[in-house]
Structure 1
Amino acid sequence: MRIKACCRWHSAGHLQTSAPHALRLFSMASQSDALPLSSYSTAVVFLPSVELQKKLNIVRSAWDKSHPRWTAHFTVLFPFVEPSHLPEAAARLRDACSAASLAPITADIDHVDTFSMRTYKTVYLSPSATAAASMKSAWRVAATTFGYSGRDFIPHLTLGQTPHGEDALNFLIGKGNALIASGLQWTTDCFVLLRKDEADGGRMKIAHVVPFQPSSSCSLSIAPELCPAWHFDSAVGCWVSASPAPQPTPLRSFRVATYNILEDAAIPSSPRISAIVRAILESDADFIVLQEVSDVSLPLLLQNVELRSTYTWASYSPSAVLPLSRNVMMLSRAASFSWTTVDLGDKHKPAHIVIPHVDSETPNLVFAAVHLSAGSSIEISAKRAKEMVTLLAHVRSEWPAHEWIVLGDTNFQATDGPIGDDVMDDAWELSGSPADSGPTYEPTLNSLAARTSRQDRSPKRYDRVYVKMGRLVAQNFSRFGFATPENPASDHWGIAVSLAVIGPSASTPPVVAAEAPELDRHRLTFLESSLTDAELSEAARREGLVLSDAGFLQRQAAADELRNVICSSGDTTNVCIRMAVVGSFALGVSVPSSDVDCLAVGNISSATFWRLARERIIALGWPNAHNIRLRRFVKEAAVPMMEFEVDGVKMDLQYCPAPQVAESWDTLPELPSNSPLFSLPVSTLRSLNAFRDSLALLKLVIPARRPAFVLAHRSLRHFCKRRGIFASKFGYLGSFHLSILLVRILESLPDSATAAQIVRVFLSEYGTWDWAVEAAYIGLPREYARAPREAMVILSPEKPSLNIASASTRSTVQSITRALQEGNRLLGDGAAWTEVCGTGLPSFITSYERYAKIDISFWGSSSMTGRGLVGHLESRFVHFLVQLQTSLPSIQAHFWPERLADASGGDGDSLQAFYLIGLSGSRLDDTVQTRLALLEAFAEDIRGQARYYDEASAFIYASEVSRDALGTVCKDTFDWPDGGFDEPQAEDSDDESASRADEQGLSRDDSFSLDRRKKEKKRKPPRAAGAAQSTAKLRPSADVYNRLMWDPSVSSEDHLIGYEDRFKGLKEMPIGSWKREVEDEAFIPFHRVVHFRRRTDNVVVWDRRVILNAFQPLHSDSSRTE
């Protein structure tokens, strides 16, 4: 009533009421029932236009921690009223606006500013002075209406946050200025009231729009997260925003590609654009994902006539302001699309999610384009794995029914495990190629990769395509970008693969087994030889290669015991697990030293199986009635595996999740290879084929021929072992290689062929085989996309055909060929089988003038850590041989596939061993410096892997030695103190560890500390050579240096420091000449120190190679207080 009377009085007096005065009158009426401004679930804002929101959100997505919950906005009031009070608040604000007669605001942003917080700086966009004044006037209306009494209003639109530091701050400010230059102006005439939607990830959504004037009709909205693609319209000759509801496109088959185009300030993209465009067009892809697109390369690409006439859809327009220095972008020629980004834990490495617009007959598709974190450290590897897990969890949650295609630069290292998802397949492996072939980053072949690589110059398969198992079939995989190898477009090769859409598997018609036609293959003939089966049998018996009846029964019983435990239904009657022996034992060619390989097939996931298997073994305890003990769980391998010891027999177990196969287990031997039961994902078949391949080989070796096959296999195994060419992990032949090659020989020989005749034909046939061109296989000819780096191809029997010799290199193939040719020549000359096989290691260490020698020492307390270091070192030898062959093609290298030791030294307390590579060639003397540099780089790479190498407990040293300097060499017989059994806690997951801790009344931290104390048990003192044995661990070289330099009781001038020179090997200098400053040109890091030597008596007082530590600490350990 009071307000009405007052208004009537003003009206009667014909007085004009100013906006502030009217607002004060309205405020007086509302103070008695004020609404508290305490809710963080509501806000009042000014919103830019949808088009400007899109432009701003692209940059905010990588920098603003509030994206995507908040769109681009100017905050007016926040916190605001409780959500239940929003209707009332909107009504009050509407009345206040009506009374205040606010005018529309022309908002134009004209500068970038910042403010500092404790741990970061916020970069924001500010309006012009005129616009700021208008916004402030409107803010006073809202503030007064709701009784706001806080800080004054500073209009700002947050762009993002940066850590304190110049580089990131200047970069984001530069992005803000680029946005301003592109034009940021709009008109707003309303307040927008937002409300948090908890059901949609806490996104702030429009609840009410309050116009400044009652007569205004505001039509504001929040920009959708899915951005439409840009389309090149040839009619108008420019890029336009594509229609939000484009015509869907039918896709029955399409080609996808990924290509990292390289953004590096030292290698500008402008001169390379033409070559990059040629590479993109060479891919012939319908959809191609580019990584490392920059503000410079984006317009150059999209304004290229050739590219835009082919790829008419793109994620960005040429004038877009990209969020990062290196960005991901999709190009399409097949269909329009929408896209968004997903934070993978680091906003600067988001995934680029693309949804193509396809017709109803095509499966809904989702492309997830990635550029994962780069680096080889254990921390970065774990970060990459987490990024991939986050991505897959997101697409599974958001698009569960879609077909997923994950592609891009994964930066996966050789040490990274599989992506850990049972529904994704690697398209490269789907094409029948091994996981470690097909590199896309090759510093030895790509000059730009050589410039951008760090220490490790080995080839890497960084770029990958993964597809969801289901309705997409991968084929015709290829790499591109090789057109100008002397002047490459990028430091990466691109990869492309064709994907075909198939119908549901239920509709697939049954496949009828067809009668195989007669092989179109040359017939092999017998060769003259004095070799007899009796001689081969005697040699096999003498060398201990024959498995006795007792040994056979022991292994069979061990397999039965393991089967009884693993396949037991227990309380889980719905679980079906079957197990079979595979490999050499199944084929009857195992020797007493062979492990027994087993494969389990079941109707549960891999993760569930391994957890169940471990629980069942742990439940048995140790010792147990089954004599089963878990040695280790190799869960990070491409095919995970558990290693057991059962009654003294070593057994390896793999698992294949295939419910229908498990349920039809008993019928498998009778099923044809093309049975629809085997229409399984490649990742599943890769495991299952261990069983199917064994069955295929057994079917081809009829019972009448089996004795000759077994004797020939054992004899050739012994021959290869003695010649140093038997070890598949090092690129040589293995038991399965021999089986396939022998069966191929048997197919072309009469059934009456003896083992001796088979052996002679084998040496003759494969000694002259052109491995660089021809593939070896059994059965019908088959298609196989051979990669350029594959030096030898031996295809597995069952599809998908895999090259089981993918680890071979030109060096190992040369060694294999030379050995087979020599054996064939000796047999032709009538030599005895013992002479044909040779003496083994003694012959090797006298056959070459020069040897590359890689020393390894380990004196740590954890045997598990030591085995990990040895395994990692051995896994890198194949890559080193490739580097050596590529850099020095004139040098022949024969790697001896055994760990060796000095026969005259060592007491067995610690590992002190080495590996040898015999070197020969016409330019051996001219390439010494290059070889030493390669060896040094190899050792540096191993020492740089913190996951495996700790200089406090290990030492790796690479050098080159002459034949005379080798000394007495023997096979290393060092046994790990733990007997080869990994520590049980290493097998458990974090969740399981936490569960055990809870049961024991421990906190999680206490549990961790307990495990650490178990692992860090007291070390056995290392052996000292030439001095009293030290009771402490080997002191770091830096400590010894400091002692010699600053201890007044020791003369620094009397000591020399020995170190590894990158090109000249071991060198010495006076300690006083050693430079510790990194900036000094003569700086040498301490990890290259090998020894310290006293001049006066020529005594070495500290040596990493023999763990010699003659120095005692200045104070005894017992006197320390830390």
Structure 2
Amino acid sequence: MRSTMAGTNETLLSISTSVSSYATALCIIPPISQCGHINRLRELYDKAYDKWPPHINLVYPFVTPECLTRAQQQIQKNVDEQLDANKPVTVELNQAGHFEQRINSTIFLGESRTGTQSQLHSLRRIVLQALKHSDTATKMHLTIGQSEDNAEASREFLLAKARLLPALNFRVGALAILIRERVPGSDSMDHMRLWGTINLAASGDAWVPQSPEYWIRSTHSSHIIPIHEEDEDCDHGRKEEKGVSREVQSGQTFYFDSEQDKWSICTGDELHETVSNAVTISSYNVLVDSKYPPTSNRDSLLVRTILSDSAMADILVLQEVSDDFLSYLLSDNEVQRRYPFSSHGPPSQLDIGPLPSLRNIVMLSSHAFAWSLVPFHRRHKGALVARFEGALSSSASGSKELVVAGVHLTCGLTDGSVAAKNAQLKMLTSYLNRHHRTAPWIVAGDFNITTSTYTIRTAVKNKSISSQTVATLALIESAIGDAGLLDAWSIAHIEATDEIAISDRDDLYEGEEGATFDPRNNALAAATSGTSINRPQRYDRILVRPQDTFRVGSFHHFGLPEDVDGVQLIASDHSGVRTTIRVLEDAAGKSLDGRSMMEQLTIHHKRATGQLADPTALDKVLSAHGMFPLDEQVRQRQDTFALLKEVVLGTSNEKDSTLSEIPLVMVPVGSYATGVWTSDSDIDCLCIGTISSKTFFKLARQRLVKAESRGVRILRKVEANTGTMLELSVNGVAMDLQYCPAARVVER
């Protein structure tokens, strides 16, 4: 009986097995520990990332699912017989290549060895021999991803990243048998699952793939952020499926090891607490010129700008960083000295690997930090969230964590892109509230939010955006405030601690002051604006949530265009922004129980006693001292205000339409507006319009001079921190005229 069974098994093992099923595969799966760089690229560029692990197919298509057991036995028997048990099987993938296909190219890693030198080809021959098939020529490889199309620039861009990957070298402990299975609850989606393995004779302590299948994402992870929004991401044309869940990814911080003269991964010993009473943050979009080939003509100017006194900071957030520029930047000796810590290492260093995207966010710092990537709902978009332990410590307050988030939101002024920006900011603030609720925050970067009211009105008029999108833009600004975030530029501007850029002296509409992207004065910005409406925009911002820990100090721009011998030198299409935050001592901002002074402030109401309790007596005293104006004085001021309004707004002379056609309103403010003025009070007047302050006063002055015969005189012009003011005398009444550009207020 035993003899008959043995003969039957031998007969089965000698039968040729068809290899035509795409439901199974026989492959080599590299160790997880060596696939970090590979998976970061595959996640963004490989359409099979969620379905397959990184793998090298030996035989695909493979046998039908019902033949897997028999095939496994046949292959295992042949492997045991033909492989030398004392000779380990090793794989080294150290060459990037590509396959051209109909609509794009597949980029891969392959061997430099070929033919009989390749152990991969030896394994394939043994497998096919066991299945009674002859070997056929094939290029065994590990897929990195697919280019967007068959254009050379698209293909070479991804090939360049693959060439920066560290060589993949490992011992093979087993071959993996994968089988395709449907995703539960889906009729169309599937993924490959580990069905079994074929042990190699020389496995030893080599890597052997095991369940669970780490490449199959779990939808129950606490780190996953579900997203259901859509947008047009202008940084990458690839659409992402609805409902894709993206995990928050922990990043590796690098530091410059001066002894070894290289960038190394922080082990944790470098993440020591720092104590400072002030922290300076800079943000700069360095501009990627082209996808491929990369340009380097601006690199030296960019580094010079970053190292300039006006840009130097404790923390530097960069956007649109490419592989080549980061390698150039981190090779600079002064950068290594001033910014010894970086969220990413130089891709040109053999053991580091490429940046994931074309345009990347990179954070440099003089202090050690830990960071995570909070991905948004589109590929290539996310926030880099860094944690600085003790960065805001003071002798009185003790250790305090500072959280700094670097962002580069979706660009463009369309219904889809504005909705995307809104969703991205919601995701970020939601994450920060969940994981850093009590810590102070700083959010810095290129927000790509259109601020010019002229640009927005024109877009609505041209039907480029809907009225709902205008409402969404306002909602974004409101949401920033609701999250407790304050705009550092706005604070510094109000407190007159900002340095006004050159473009602010030009004729500006509301929302253009403090612009960081000015196509009128920056040739690179004009080339990248993508519109003929070249108005200045304040795209780059630094938002702060102090949490009673610090206050905003100075704010200024850097990296503005320079004219040298009649030639404009421009490092980027954006100017950079920098702000200093100053740590508050406990006595300045908090009480002993930790609550802010504002939270503890209470008002105690008491009823007036004695003579103060009699309003009639109080009225007599105020009248006796001339505190209440007479009826004649009331009428005089009413007539005076009406005259000034008529002159300034041009309503008295229809032939002179210089100002009459410009939307303007004029209102009283101060004591006159609130009804608490006295006979000695002047009248404060505020004009609100859509033109710049410079233009308004130029035109208004002409009207006032012409009205001198009607009792209107200009006494003097005052340049105060709050802006320009004209002191006037109108028929003997002192009046102050100020102006505010605020188009939305005028429209209301």
TM over 0.5: yes
Q: Is the 8 A contact 2:13 2:74 kept in 1?
A: no
Matched ranges for 1:596-615 at <5 A: none
Query: C-alpha distance in 2, partners of 1:240/1:508?
Result: 42
Query: C-alpha distance in 1, partners of 2:69/2:135?
Result: 23
Shift in Å, 1:355: 3.2
The corresponding residue for 1:999 is none
The corresponding residue for 1:268 is 297
The corresponding residue for 1:303 is 331
The corresponding residue for 2:369 is 336
SS at match of 2:271: coil
The corresponding residue for 2:641 is 716
Distance 1:507 1:107, change over 3 A: same
Query: C-alpha distance in 1, partners of 2:15/2:271?
Result: 53
Q: Is the 8 A contact 1:287 1:332 kept in 2?
A: yes
Gaps of 5+ in 2: 216-247, 392-397, 457-469, 495-510, 564-568, 607-625, 652-658, 714-728, 732-739
The corresponding residue for 1:175 is 160
Paired letter, 1:212: L
Query: C-alpha distance in 1, partners of 2:673/2:338?
Result: 50
The corresponding residue for 1:851 is none
- The CA deviation string for residues 116-171 of structure 1, in whole angstroms up to 9 with x for no partner, is 36x65432233232599523544577789999999997532222223333145333
Query: C-alpha distance in 2, partners of 1:218/1:350?
Result: 37
Matched ranges for 1:628-777 at <5 A: 704=628, 712=637, 716=641, 719-724=644-649, 734-735=666-667, 738-740=668-670, 742=672, 752-753=678-679, 758=681, 761-762=682-683
**Which residue among 540, 558, 563 is the counterpart of 1:463?**
540
The corresponding residue for 1:236 is 260
Shift in Å, 1:731: 8.7
Shift in Å, 1:311: 0.5
- The CA deviation string for residues 542-585 of structure 1, in whole angstroms up to 9 with x for no partner, is xxxxxxxxxxxxxxxxxxxxxxxxxxxxxxxxxxxxxxxxxxxx
SS at match of 2:695: helix
**Which residue among 284, 300, 303 is the counterpart of 1:259?**
284
Distance 1:497 1:176, change over 3 A: closer
Paired letter, 1:56: I
The corresponding residue for 1:646 is none
Matched ranges for 1:486-565 at <5 A: 486=563, 487-499=569-581, 507-510=594-597
**Which residue among 141, 147, 158 is the counterpart of 1:156?**
141
Query: C-alpha distance in 1, partners of 2:388/2:82?
Result: 48
Distance 1:131 1:478, change over 3 A: farther
Query: C-alpha distance in 1, partners of 2:116/2:406?
Result: 40
- The CA deviation string for residues 365-420 of structure 1, in whole angstroms up to 9 with x for no partner, is 65443333333344443444454455556666777777654432222213360434
Query: C-alpha distance in 1, partners of 2:151/2:635?
Result: 71
- The CA deviation string for residues 199-235 of structure 1, in whole angstroms up to 9 with x for no partner, is 9x99999999976347611368989953312211122
Distance 1:271 1:153, change over 3 A: closer
SS at match of 1:411: coil
Q: Does 1:480 pair with 2:465?
A: no
Q: Is the 8 A contact 2:42 2:49 kept in 1?
A: yes
SS at match of 2:327: helix
Q: Does 1:815 pair with 2:740?
A: no
Query: C-alpha distance in 1, partners of 2:157/2:28?
Result: 24
Q: Does 1:216 pair with 2:194?
A: no
Query: C-alpha distance in 1, partners of 2:662/2:193?
Result: 60
Distance 1:295 1:734, change over 3 A: same
The corresponding residue for 1:997 is none
The corresponding residue for 1:407 is 444
Q: Is the 8 A contact 1:263 1:269 kept in 2?
A: no
**Which residue among 188, 197, 211 is the counterpart of 2:171?**
188
Distance 1:817 1:92, change over 3 A: farther
Name the structure, 1 or 2, with higher relative contact order (CA <8 Å, separation 6+). 2
Paired letter, 1:358: E
SS at match of 2:147: strand
Distance 1:432 1:156, change over 3 A: same
Q: Quick check: which has more Rg, 1 or 2?
A: 1
Q: Is the 8 A contact 2:324 2:347 kept in 1?
A: no
- The CA deviation string for residues 907-940 of structure 1, in whole angstroms up to 9 with x for no partner, is xxxxxxxxxxxxxxxxxxxxxxxxxxxxxxxxxx
**Which residue among 333, 346, 351 is the counterpart of 1:317?**
346
Shift in Å, 1:317: 1.5
Compute the TM-score of the two structures, normalised by the length of structure 1.
0.42
Query: C-alpha distance in 2, partners of 1:501/1:107?
Result: 53
Query: C-alpha distance in 1, partners of 2:2/2:634?
Result: 111
Shift in Å, 1:442: 1.9
Q: Is the 8 A contact 1:112 1:173 kept in 2?
A: no
Greater percentage in helix: 1
- The CA deviation string for residues 913-969 of structure 1, in whole angstroms up to 9 with x for no partner, is xxxxxxxxxxxxxxxxxxxxxxxxxxxxxxxxxxxxxxxxxxxxxxxxxxxxxxxxx
Shift in Å, 1:812: 1.2
- The CA deviation string for residues 100-126 of structure 1, in whole angstroms up to 9 with x for no partner, is 647412323334122536x65432233
Paired letter, 1:46: I
Query: C-alpha distance in 2, partners of 1:473/1:147?
Result: 75
Distance 1:57 1:424, change over 3 A: farther
Q: Does 1:425 pair with 2:485?
A: yes
Shift in Å, 1:705: 6.3
Query: C-alpha distance in 2, partners of 1:398/1:821?
Result: 61
Q: Is the 8 A contact 2:512 2:535 kept in 1?
A: no
Q: Is the 8 A contact 2:512 2:536 kept in 1?
A: no
Shift in Å, 1:460: 0.6
Query: C-alpha distance in 2, partners of 1:387/1:438?
Result: 24
SS at match of 1:107: strand
Distance 1:144 1:215, change over 3 A: same
Query: C-alpha distance in 2, partners of 1:813/1:511?
Result: 39
Distance 1:713 1:369, change over 3 A: farther
Q: Is the 8 A contact 2:548 2:596 kept in 1?
A: no
Query: C-alpha distance in 2, partners of 1:187/1:741?
Result: 81
SS at match of 1:114: strand
Q: Is the 8 A contact 2:254 2:265 kept in 1?
A: yes
Distance 1:139 1:48, change over 3 A: farther
Q: Is the 8 A contact 2:109 2:142 kept in 1?
A: yes
Query: C-alpha distance in 2, partners of 1:187/1:29?
Result: 33
The corresponding residue for 1:105 is 90
Q: Is the 8 A contact 1:46 1:76 kept in 2?
A: no
Query: C-alpha distance in 2, partners of 1:823/1:669?
Result: 52
The corresponding residue for 2:109 is 125
**Which residue among 361, 375, 390 is the counterpart of 2:412?**
375
SS at match of 1:275: helix
Query: C-alpha distance in 1, partners of 2:116/2:410?
Result: 42
Paired letter, 2:307: R
Distance 1:165 1:437, change over 3 A: same
Query: C-alpha distance in 2, partners of 1:143/1:271?
Result: 56
Identity in percent: 19
Gaps of 5+ in 1: 8-23, 515-666, 672-701, 767-775, 777-791, 793-803, 830-834, 838-874, 880-896, 899-979, 981-1122
Query: C-alpha distance in 2, partners of 1:210/1:446?
Result: 63
SS at match of 1:480: strand
Query: C-alpha distance in 1, partners of 2:117/2:640?
Result: 90
Q: Is the 8 A contact 2:558 2:576 kept in 1?
A: yes
Paired letter, 2:205: S
Distance 1:70 1:819, change over 3 A: farther
**Which residue among 37, 42, 45 is the counterpart of 1:55?**
37
Paired letter, 1:184: A
Q: How many residues align?
A: 583
Shift in Å, 1:325: 4.1
